[in-house]
Chain A
Amino acid sequence: MAVTAGSVTEGSVTVGAQTPDLAFSRSELMAIELAAHLRDDDVAVMGTASALPQVACRLAQLTHAPGLWYIAGGTCSVNPHLSPVVASCCDFDLLRADTALPLSDVVLLEGRGDVLTVFFAGGLQIDAYGNCNLVAVGEYSHPTLRGPGTVGLPFLSRVGRVLIYTQSHNRRTFVERVDFLSGPGFLGGPAEWASAGLSGGGPALVVTPLCTMDFDPESLRMRLVSLHPGVEIDEVRDATGFDLLIPDAVPVTSAPTSAQLSIMRDLDTDGLLKGP
């Protein structure tokens, strides 16, 4: 769904200028939200169907984080130039990059644990503690929905910060507890998380087409950070299958600037982030 920034108001605040150029898609806004979280000294890795986080990383490099490194798992391209942005993490065009590693090298570094600082993740189910499930919904031996499989998500336990993104913000995806733990988040909450003694920092951010969320430092449960332009709190509450922590004041997610949109559109010539 395309959102025309100039036509969206939240309360008395007009979001964006009245310029047709500033119409943006939810995916573009999600990429900007993820980019804002990336730091100049990060080394980020992402996997299957990761056009959106790849754009986020490249945008961060071209704006506030020129020192960021990012690895597109699959081809294991390091700093792919994204000319153009492609849908598959294994696309040959991703080899237009600073360098490309064998996949086994990246698996080694995921295990080493102190090199990669950011891991992008997602799931068929994502729960209140940021655990992800790409394997099976329902009973594992008789699933109601068999997912594709976990790929590298078990490594979430070893990586600095986990950034979760999904295009599906609904009650099937956002559940109180995952049916199958394929990508560890804060496990069963503070007690279990503390006793597990994992080297990873756990999930840090969740970005969806409706909102941006993070985790309450004490309860380790998901918490609303900002609502995307035009989205109401009730819409998020209704689409979330657990009690989402909602602070007293929830700001509207900043609308994209023309500079951000221009950078992304120069890369995304096929318009992969144009919809939804």
Chain B
Amino acid sequence: MSKLLSVTEAIERYVPDGVGLLAVGGMHLHNNPMALVREVVRQQRSIRRLLTSPCGALNADLLLAAGLVQEIATSYVGFEHLGLAPCFRRAAESGTIRILECDEGYITHGLYAGAGGLPFIPLPAGLEISDVPKVNQESYAMTTDPFTGGQVLVGAPLRPDVALIHASIADARGNAVLGGAHFVDRLMVQAAKTVLLQVERVVSTEEIARHPVGTTIPGFLVQGVVEAPGGCHPTASHGSYNVDEEQIKVYLSMVGKEEGVSQYLRQYVTGATEDEYREKAAQRLAGLRYGDGLMSDALAGQGN
């Protein structure tokens, strides 16, 4: 049965206002599911808790810009070599958001625990040394190792209610190829109760079946598939196009001052439908396309 939806239908149907734990895939300015994220902003869905990959970027900062996020569980929100995340920083410094401070190890292992139904997951010795677990006792705890009797740091499972994920291609049943690095997107898919995919291109099941090893997301874990060519813009889509750094700098400059936030949102998000956004972005994307070589390698798959 087809799971194809428009971006509007996907958010209307699967992201309730006040969604409990919303996970956004991608890492740094790569594979951010921006078509879905922008639609969350257009439909003004408030988010009780947002979860990023080990490195969140525009996917998180835009939702913070829109004032939709009450709490964020993250180990990083920033723009890597381009600078700090203006809205994350402002919200943290003014105390308008609750941060569940995490580290990369916990986010990864916590998703694994969520995916596998584990009640909690022990973390490597030494991770208890940093201040991170001390300021986030909702995600981390110390307990007794039943085998050695020693103390061990454990993490709570991460079980997103909804995960928004970008993939390169998928068929209508949700079988999908991540045409580049996996980051923790597969773990998010495995751990989430509902998965919405945005893809560059919807292909036939016959075409997908040519790459069974590279098709690392099975359709039975996916509820909705949205065809959104260019949908990661202004972030990169592995195998398709690179980061639009110029447009990222426009974002950083406009939202860098609180007064600029509403203008940015009007101009680039709420003032246009996703189809209209795509038409405008198409010209910019033309200059950012990758060659074909790596994509065909990527289709052969990372095996895990």
Binding site for B on A (CB under 8 A): 48-49, 51, 74-77, 87-96, 100-105, 107, 110-113, 134-136, 140-155, 157-158, 180-184, 187, 196, 198-200
Q: Is B135 part of the contact surface with A, judged by Cβ < 8 Å?
A: yes
Q: How far is the CB of B262 from chain A (nearest CB, A)?
A: 22
A103:B108 contact, CB within 8 angstroms: yes
B131:A180 contact, CB within 8 angstroms: yes
A103: chain B residues at CB < 8 Å are: 27, 54, 108, 181-184
> What 0/1 readout, one digit per residue, does chain B (249-274) give for beta carbons within 8 Å of chain A?
00000000000000000000000000
B294:A92 contact, CB within 8 angstroms: yes
A154:B108 contact, CB within 8 angstroms: no
Name 17 interchain pairs, CB-CB below 8 A, sorted by A.
A74-B183, A75-B181, A87-B81, A88-B30, A90-B80, A103-B27, A104-B108, A107-B108, A112-B124, A135-B131, A140-B131, A149-B78, A157-B130, A182-B131, A184-B130, A196-B129, A199-B125
A151:B54 contact, CB within 8 angstroms: yes
Nearest-neighbor residue (CB-CB) of B112 within chain A? A104
Among A94, A140, A150, contact of B76 (Cβ-Cβ < 8 Å)? A150
* Contact A152/B105 with A88-B29, A198-B129 known, Cβ cut-off 8 Å: yes
B181:A95 contact, CB within 8 angstroms: yes
Binding site for A on B (CB under 8 A): 27-30, 54-55, 74-78, 80-81, 84-85, 88-89, 92-93, 95, 101-105, 108-109, 112, 123-127, 129-132, 135, 180-184, 186-187, 236, 238-239, 242-243, 290, 294, 297-298, 302, 304
Determine the distance from Cα of A96 to Cα of B101 in the docked complex, in whole angstroms: 33
A153:B103 contact, CB within 8 angstroms: yes
Determine the distance from Cα of A147 to Cα of B131 in the docked complex, in whole angstroms: 14
Among A149, A154, A196, contact of B105 (Cβ-Cβ < 8 Å)? A154
The 3 closest A-B pairs by CB, nearest first: A148-B78, A157-B126, A149-B76
A interface majority secondary structure: loop
B298: chain A residues at CB < 8 Å are: 95
Q: How far is the CB of B199 from chain A (nearest CB, A)?
A: 16
B129:A154 contact, CB within 8 angstroms: yes
Determine the distance from Cα of A135 to Cα of B92 in the docked complex, in whole angstroms: 11
Among A49, A151, A198, contact of B126 (Cβ-Cβ < 8 Å)? A198
Q: Which of A74, A87, A103, A157 has the most CB of B within 10 A?
A: A103
Q: How far is the CB of B148 from chain A (nearest CB, A)?
A: 14
A151:B76 contact, CB within 8 angstroms: yes
* Contact A199/B78 with A105-B304, A140-B135, A151-B104 known, Cβ cut-off 8 Å: no
Q: How far is the CB of A15 from chain B (nearest CB, A)?
A: 29
B29: chain A residues at CB < 8 Å are: 88, 90
B126:A155 contact, CB within 8 angstroms: yes
B95:A142 contact, CB within 8 angstroms: yes
B129: chain A residues at CB < 8 Å are: 154, 157, 181, 184, 187, 196, 198
* Contact A154/B132 with A100-B181, A102-B302 known, Cβ cut-off 8 Å: yes
Among B28, B84, B187, B294, contact of A88 (Cβ-Cβ < 8 Å)? B28
A196: chain B residues at CB < 8 Å are: 129
B55: chain A residues at CB < 8 Å are: 48, 74, 90, 151
B80:A135 contact, CB within 8 angstroms: no
* Contact A154/B95 with A147-B84, A148-B76, A184-B130 known, Cβ cut-off 8 Å: no
B74: chain A residues at CB < 8 Å are: 149
B131:A145 contact, CB within 8 angstroms: no
* Contact A143/B92 with A102-B186, A104-B187, A199-B125 known, Cβ cut-off 8 Å: yes
Nearest-neighbor residue (CB-CB) of A199 within chain B? B126
Determine the distance from Cα of A146 to Cα of B128 in the docked complex, in whole angstroms: 22
Among A76, A112, A154, contact of B127 (Cβ-Cβ < 8 Å)? A154
